[in-house]
Structure formats: C-alpha cells, structure tokens
Amino acid sequence: MKSNVTTMANRPLSRPWTAAVLSAACAGGGQLLNRQYAKGALFLSVYAIGVAFILPRLYEAIRGLITLGDEPTRIVNGALVKGDHSIFMMIDGLIALFVAAGLVWLHVLNAVDAYRQAACKSAASGGRAPGVRLAAREGRTALLLLLPAFVLVLFVSVIPMLFNILTAFTDYSSPNHIPDRSLVNWIGWGTFVRLFTEPAWYSTFTGILLWNVVWAALSTLTVFFGGLLVALMINHPKVRFKKLWRTTFILPWAFPAFIAILVFRLLFNGALGPINGLLEQIGLPAVPWLADPTMAKVTILLVHFWISMPFLMALQSGILTTIPKDLYEAAEVDGAGGRAKFSRITMPHVLLATSPILIMQFASNFNNFNLIYMLTDGGPANPAYFFAGSTDILLSWIYKMTLEQNQFNMASAVSIVMFVLIASISVLNYSRTQSFKEKD
C-alpha cells in the first residue's frame, strides 16, 4: 500500500506514545498514524458504530440495572400500558456490564496495539510493521480461539450465578413485588438482616440447618460403614456363594430410586402401610414412621441406607481386593488377630482411597432433594416453621420458597448462606484428607 504524502507521513514515526494516545482518544487513530490504513479504517468504523448504536443501549441497560425500572405495567383508562420488567432489566444490565467490560478491553488493546506497532516501526526504521504473524507469536490467537468457550461459560454459569446473588439484595417476592405489575427494588442487606433477626425466619433457618447438617453427617457415615461392613462380610474367605450375596445387595442400586422412594412412602404409611400391618399382626404396636418428627427422620435415614449402601459396598469391595494379600500373611506370621488386621491394614487402606468420596457423598447428601421431597415432602407439618415441615432440608425449603411461595429473595439469601457453608466445609476437608497431600 503506497501512502500519499501527508503531513503525518513527513513526521518520523518514532513516537509510540502519540499513536497510543491517538488510539485511546479515537480507536484506529494510532493505526492510521502508523500507516496501517486498512486496520485503522476497520477499527475506526467499529468504534463509530459502537459509539453511535451500542453505547446508548449499554447506558440504558446499566442504568436499568441500577434503577430496576421506574414504572410498572398498569391499566390506564381500561388500556394496558406496558411498564418496566425489573427482573429482565436486571439480567439485561448484567449482560451489558460484561459487554461493556469487553469493549473497554478491546479499546485498551487497540491503544496498546498502536503503541507496539509504532515501537516496532521505529525499531524497523520505517519499514511496515510486522502484523498478524507477530500477533500470533504473542499468543493472541489463543485468546481468540478461547473466546467462544469463554462466552459460553459466561452465559451458562457466571451470569446465572451473579443473578442469583443479586436477587438476594432485592425485594423480589410475592405478593407485592412480582414484575411486571409491580417493581422490584434494591434493598441491600435487608433480606439477610430479616433472615437473621426476624424470629419466624431465624428459627426456621437454624432448625432446618441443624437437621440438614445432622442428616448429611449421619447419612454419609451410616452408608459408609454399612457398606464397609457388608463388603468385609462378603469378602471374608469363609463366606460361600459370594456372587449371590453381592447380586442381592446390588439389587437396590439397580432399582430406580425414584420408584423405590415412592414405594417406601406407601410401605411406611402409618395407618394403611404393609409394614405397620405386619407389626400389628405379630402383636407389636404400630410405629408412626412418617407421622412423628423424630421417627420420620429415622425413616429417612433407613431408606437412604437401603438405596445408597450398595454403591459404597461395591466400591469398598473393589478397594479391599487391591490390598496386597502378603500384608495379611505377614501380619498373621506376626501373630496379629482379626481386629488388629482390620484396624492396622484394612481401615487405613480403605480410608486413604475413599476419603474424597466421603466428602462428595457428604456434599451430595447435604442436598439430597429427591429423597426428602418424595419420601416425606418435608412432613410432618411443623407450624413453628415458615414454609417448611419438620424434615425439610435447606434445599427443599428453598424449593418450596421459590416454586410454591415465590419468595425469591429469601430463597437466594438462604442459598448463598448454604453455598458459603458447604464450600468452606468442603475446602477444609479437601485440604486435610490424606489423599490430597503430596506423597512421593
């Protein structure tokens, strides 16, 4: 590309800063100064389009994120006048924030590019600057190639998560703040303050949290040790028909949990269920399996044990077979009994291999929505709780608040608190377990 003689062209192009400042003031300016006319024109046109069309919209969207709307939809003289939909504005504003950040980043890039090219030019004494190939070597193509994945992650996980967090700081709830017939407002920490000070919310939250932690711990431990016990029994050399036993115990795992839980619900029915029928026939009193708050919790643990134990049993059977036989033989030579062999050889091996699984189990049991929702649906009813029953865990409580009661802000606040709790427990545990420590 031959350049016509301009005032610019007569200047020595050894002032990278001029180019950078030019580009910062008006994208493409610095590139034009560097005589990269095509590039400069491209930048300039993109910049012009952006300023003319995108910036006003971005401004509107970000303003919407701050105000969350001024006028709800209303009826004026019998006609519907569309108003602002606060929640859509919030999501649009979030997206706009990211777009704005991207644009700022591009603008900075164009200024940096102008500076670099100018610097290269003065180094290469007037020749044309090396273009794309240099850029490639600097790894910018890698960024370009990663861009689609980055955008996908942004929309699939980052924005929804931010939206969830932001909701906790609004009054988005039924019956008075459901768009678009009414506006949603920012209320800062109000929701959290209410959660931790208003007795109705506070007592519900602490009560459910306590049961949730107890449930997660107990369900994990019972299943873990139950599975280990069964695996040890099956693996015992004196036990015959190993395959038969293993198959029998794996059946509950093969059975769809959904159906199993609903069947258990029928079986445990206090008045008409077959289990109580059986008890009455052999002269025992009926047990209020699902009617008494404490008994219902025990029933949940029992059903969970039935469903989840086979998986742990299979896992630990596998681990037991990996323990070298000669260890046991050596122990026997040294005169170790069964108990010593178990505590000194079996247990350390099993724990070392399964501790990460324990943590995963704890986290998944903490949020075991299916079991609670389908077996008791949080029941028996608890009048002291707010939108929850005696056996509800945090997650099923959040479900009830959002899908049945439209208390979106409170549900978001509880889910944030829940996330902080689970995350901290998990991180603590992960960093402490043997299997994550570097060993050589």
Residues 72-91 within binding reach of other proteins (CB under 8 A): 72-80, 82
Q: How far is CA 345 from the centre of its chain?
A: 38
- Considering only CA atoms, which of 226, 237, 224 is closest in space to residue 351? 224
Among 347, 381, 420, 423, binds other proteins (CB under 8 A): 381
Residue 278 Cβ vs other proteins, minimum distance, rounded to whole Å: 14
CA 290 vs. chain centroid, Å, equals 32
Q: Which residue stretch of 27-35, 39-47, 400-408, 412-420 sits at the interface with other proteins (rule: CB under 8 A)?
A: 400-408
Single-letter amino acid, residue 320 = L
Nearer to other proteins by Cβ, of 67 and 402: the residue is 402
Examine residue 410 and tell whether it contacts other proteins (CB under 8 A).
Answer: yes
| 47 or 386: CB nearest other proteins | 386
Q: Binder to other proteins among 271, 282, 335, 339 (CB under 8 A)? A: 271
For other proteins, the binding residue among 122, 235, 406, 429 (CB under 8 A) is 406
Q: Which is nearer to other proteins, 237 or 383 (CB)?
A: 383
By CB under 8 A, is residue 407 in contact with other proteins? yes
282 binds other proteins (CB under 8 A): no
Of 173, 308, 346, 415, the one binding other proteins by CB under 8 A: 173
Taking contact as CB under 8 A, which single stretch among the options 16-24, 59-67, 168-176, 412-420 is the one that binds other proteins?
168-176
| DSSP codes, 64-132 | HHHH--S---EEETTEEE----HHHHHHHHHHHHHHHHHHHHHHHHHHHHHHHHHHHHHHTTTSPPP-H
Q: Which of 2, 238, 240, 243 touches other proteins by CB under 8 A?
A: 243
d(CA 55, CA 428): 45
Q: Which is nearer to other proteins, 135 or 267 (CB)?
A: 267
Cα–Cα distance, 409 to 402 (Å, whole number): 9
| Residue 170 DSSP one-character state | B
114 Cβ contact partners less than 8 Å away, ≥ 6 residues apart: 16, 19, 20, 22, 23, 29, 30, 31, 33, 34
Residue from the set 166, 290, 393, 411 that interacts with other proteins by CB under 8 A: 290
Binding of residue 255 to other proteins (CB under 8 A): yes
As a whole number of angstroms, the distance between CA 412 and CA 162 comes to 11
Omega before residue 180 within 30° of 0, cis: yes
User: Which amino acid type is present at position 136?
Assistant: A
Is 272 near other proteins (CB under 8 A)?
Answer: yes
Q: Which residue has the tokens 């289990």?
A: 275
* Distance in Å, CB of 182 to other proteins, minimum: 4
Tokens standing for 132? Answer: 């794309």
Judged by CB under 8 A, the stretch of 50-58, 95-103, 140-148, 398-406 that binds other proteins is 398-406
Output the smallest distance, CB 260 to other proteins, in A. 8
Q: Which stretch binds other proteins (CB under 8 A): 176-184, 216-224, 356-364, 431-439?
A: 176-184
Let me know: does 388 contact 400? Beta carbons within 8 Å.
yes
Instruction: Decide: is 114 part of the binding site for other proteins (CB under 8 A).
Output: no
Q: Does 389 bind other proteins (CB under 8 A)?
A: yes
Q: Cβ 348 to other proteins, closest distance in Å?
A: 34
Question: In this complex, which beta carbon is closest to other proteins, that of residue 233 or of residue 381?
Answer: 381
> Which H or E run contains 200?
helix 199-235
Intra-chain end-to-end CA distance of the chain, in Å:
62
CB of 80 to other proteins, least distance (A): 3
Contact (CB, 8 A) for 415 and 231: no
Say whether residue 431 binds other proteins (CB under 8 A).
no
Shortest distance (Å) from residue 250 CB to other proteins? 9
How far apart, in whole angstroms, are the C-alpha atoms of residue 58 and residue 51? 10
Long-range contacts of 243-250 (CB under 8 A, 24+ apart): 246/314, 246/317, 249/309, 249/310, 249/313, 250/310, 250/313, 250/314
Binding site for other proteins (CB under 8 A): 72-80, 82, 171, 173-179, 181-182, 187, 194, 198, 200, 243, 247, 251, 254-255, 259-260, 262-263, 265-267, 269-274, 280, 288, 290-291, 296, 374, 376-383, 385-387, 389, 400, 403-407, 409-410
